[in-house]
Amino acid sequence: MKVEIFAAHWGNNELPPDVFIEHVKAAGFDGIELSLPLDAAAREDWTGRIADAGLALIVGQWETALVPEFTAHRAALAELLHNACAARPLHVNSQTGKDYFTFEQNRELLDMAAAIAREYGVPIYHETHRSRWSAHPALALPYLRQLPDLQLTADLSHWCCACESLLGDQPQLLAETLPRVRHIHARVGHEQGPQVADFRAPESQAALAAHLAWWDEVVRLRRAAGAERLTITPEFGPVPYTQTLPYTGAAVSNAWQLNVAMLGVLRQRYG
């Protein structure tokens, strides 16, 4: 099984596309994960540049987080997922639904996404993320049990924050979740937040070890299933994910440097 590692565009939006793509290639990533512009010409510009650079593409959908009302949320999600799949990425990573929508409403959104995925032949994975349908492992479990084809992007840093733990007390929930994972967001969270200041620091080693164990299990499960590919995106984010110093507001670490450092860890660990 090939483990492919992607660069997150999140946190690098200020860079022109050609500059960002050059940074990605120089660092040694296999591709780019980004949300595409609504403008069709801008989408084509991005996808063309990425293809010309010999990089693979994952499209992310997060924008529906800004749409609180269900009917409008559903319409926005449909448009964004159609645009994403039409770009023919390896897959789409979607932050779907809301934690305050009813089960039936979130189920409707997940069913709609599945229909769009079938229409285009592009997999859509749904991210474990605070404030979405999967904000907490116990919230996610009924969907996993009722939707056997539901596949996930694992960003377990969010669950650490939501549960105020490194999930050591929830082995059964993890056992039902990890077999559904097809894409990983490799950010290290902790009991009080979704991102440690620096995963290399001594005080972050317990959190890092927990996340590596979860990622190891996903890799093991996918290899055992005979999967051709597993994708991972190091996803340390900008301020306010990156912590800041009091009064000055200066970031305590550089998110891009952390993502490149995590790329090195993943290459060494998974080949």
Delineate the domains of the chain, giving CATH numbers in brackets: 2-270 (3.20.20.150)
Cα–Cα distance measured from residue 134 to residue 141, given in angstroms and rounded to the nearest whole number: 8
Output the DSSP codes for 194-235.
Answer: S--S-TTSGGGHHHHHHHHHHHHHHHHHHHHTT-SEEEEE--
pLDDT digits (tens, 9 = 90+) for 101-111: 999 999 999 99
For CA atoms 119, 140, 198, 246, the dihedral sign is positive
Band of residue 268 on the pLDDT scale cut at 50, 70, 90:
very high
pLDDT number for residue 97: 98
pLDDT number for residue 261: 98
pLDDT digits (tens, 9 = 90+) for 18-64: 999 999 999 999 999 999 999 999 999 999 999 999 999 999 999 99
Cα–Cα distance measured from residue 218 to residue 214, given in angstroms and rounded to the nearest whole number: 6
Mean pLDDT of 157-163: 98
pLDDT number for residue 242: 95
Best CA proximity match to 176, nearest among 157, 158, 150: 150
pLDDT more than 90, % of the chain: 100
pLDDT more than 70, % of the chain: 100
Mean pLDDT of 242-246: 95
Cα–Cα distance measured from residue 175 to residue 112, given in angstroms and rounded to the nearest whole number: 26
List Cβ<8 Å contacts ≥24 apart for 195-202. Answer: 195/157, 195/236, 195/237, 195/241, 195/242, 195/243, 197/242, 197/243, 197/252, 197/253, 198/252, 198/253, 198/258, 199/236, 199/258, 199/261, 199/262, 200/261
Mean pLDDT of 125-153: 97
Q: Which burial class, exposed, middle or buried, applies to 219 when counting CB atoms under 10 A from its CB (0-12, 13-18, 19+)?
A: buried
